[in-house]
Structures are given as structure tokens and as C-alpha cells.
Amino acid sequence: MTVVTGANSGIGRATALHLAESGHTVYGTVRSTSRAGKLIDGAEALGVTVELVELDIASDHSVRDGFAEIYERAGHIDHLVNNAGVGGNGVVEETSPERFLEVFNVDLCGAVRCAQAVLPRMRAHGGGTIVNVSSVVGRFGAVAQAPYVAAKWALEGVSEQLALELAPFGIRVAIIEPGITKSSIFGKNLDLPDTSGAYSPAYDRMLQLYAAGRIHATDAIEVARVVRHAIESGDPTLRYPVSWGSKEIIEGRRKLSDADWLALGATDSIEGYIAAFREAFAVDLST
């Protein structure tokens, strides 16, 4: 049995439906079942069932109660897909510590809460899978998205550690690293807290990435297929880059010297930045 958090939209919905269609028994967590109409309609259209559970990953007691309900209804959990998350825009200087903590509480601590809810029984059972949906920004510094970058880098580190800790118990950990994917996050992540005006070029670069992403964004079903592969594969790996720009950016950043990375940041025009980004990562941000 598989639990998918944040199953109401985007990657979560695509994953829940794809796994259900592939024969998995799926429980999808949503903050409100009254807002899960698209998930329910999608399941009906495919002739499958996704069991719904109300759960807010930002809340200790909600996670505790939600997983208790799942165990009561299903009896066991074989696979957990930690998908639920939020974005977070802002440069470091102008982002409050409180805002960092808000994003961390969801994107990092939410995944930790859910993992802690299932691991005792997975260890007792001698197996299972924890799939953490990270992001390409967990591997490179995306300008003007400091809270999101920080939370996803932290999730990458915790996931690596978790993989080491769980290896003796036969529990698999997989890190999914989507690039730009068709998702409601575009509509939910439009804040531009450019309070001083000093960092307007950074926000312009972020918006250019979003604009190019809207044109090239990969359908969420592609991420869902990778999640399924990570769960079912007999030859698993730790990390799975997927979607537009992910593999190219991750590989490009690995090859790029720190000096060249800083030079990219110092580029003095949006046209120059687009050209430098293309050269460094083989990803075209022009629109």
C-alpha cells in the first residue's frame, strides 16, 4: 500500500492516479477532502480508487492522527511518497527568518514527520520505500528563491542521511529531483518581495526561468512514472532527476567551477544571463 502526500494537485495527483492505475492501493493525503474534486474526477475517469485522508504535513498532531487513520483503515504502509510542499521566493537579505522557517516546516519537517510516522512499522516489517520529492533547486542556487532552495537542499541532505540509516533495515530511500513541471505551484508562487529594489535583476532572472518553464514544462505524469520506477525497480538508485532542465542543470552545475558560478551571478543584463545560462547548462531561458 502506498501513501502519497499532497495528492490534490500537480505531481501528487498525477502520482496517486498513476500508481492506482498501475495496481497499487493508494491513500492520498489532502488538507481538505472538499477541495479534492479534480483528484476524485481523475480517479473516476480512470476507473480506479484513491482513498482520501485529511492531513496537514505542517502539523504534528495532524500527521499523527492522519497516519493513525491510515493504519486503522489499511493495516500497513509499504511505500511513502513525500510529495506535499510549498514554494518560497525571496533573496536572502530581504527574507525574514520566520519565512525561512515557514517553508522549512512544510518542505523539510513535513517530510520528516511523515517518515517518522511510518518507519517504526517499516523496520518491524523489514522493508519499505520512502520517496522524497525534492527539486532541481536542491542541487543549485536558484536566484531569488532562497527559502525554497534552502529547504530543498536540507531535504536532499536529510534524505542522504536517511538512506544510510535505513539501509540495514532493507528500507529504500529515493530522491526525486524535478525540474520545471506542470503544476499549480506556478499560480501559488508568484510573490515578489523586492522590498528595496536592489535585487530587481535577481527577480527578473527568476521570472525569466518561470516564463521559459511555462513554455517547456514537463507533464506531471513523467514525474509520476519516475516515482513508480523508484518504488518498483529491482536496480534502484538514490537520485532521479526528471522534467525540463533537471538533468542538464544538475550536470552543468557539477562541471561548473565556483568561480564560473559567481561570474554567472555577476552578469549585468538579462540577455547576458540567458546566454551565460545556456552556455553553462544547455538550457535555453529565452521566451
Q: How far apart are CA 51 and CA 175, in angstroms?
A: 24
**Cα→Cα distances 107→114, 158, 178, 225, 244, Å:** 11, 12, 14, 22, 21
Q: How far apart are CA 184 and CA 30, in angstroms?
A: 14
The half-sphere exposure of 19 on its side-chain side, counting CA atoms within 13 A, is: 32
Nine-digit cell at 35?
477541495
**73 Cβ contact partners less than 8 Å away, ≥ 6 residues apart:** 27, 51
Contact (CB, 8 A) for 173 and 238: yes
**Cα→Cα distances 268→140, 201, 204, Å:** 20, 8, 12
Catalytic residue among 148, 203, 240, 273: 148
DSSP character for 184? T
210 assigned to active site: no
Q: How far apart are CA 76 and CA 61, in angstroms?
A: 20
The edge-to-edge listing of strands for the beta sheet with 128-133 is: 50-54, 26-30, 2-4, 79-82, 128-133, 171-178, 239-242
Q: How far apart are CA 134 and CA 272, in angstroms?
A: 29
What's CA 140's distance to the chain center, in Å? 14
Rg (CA), the chain: 19
Least Cα distance to 142 among 257, 275, 265, 278 occurs for 265
The residues that are catalytic are 148
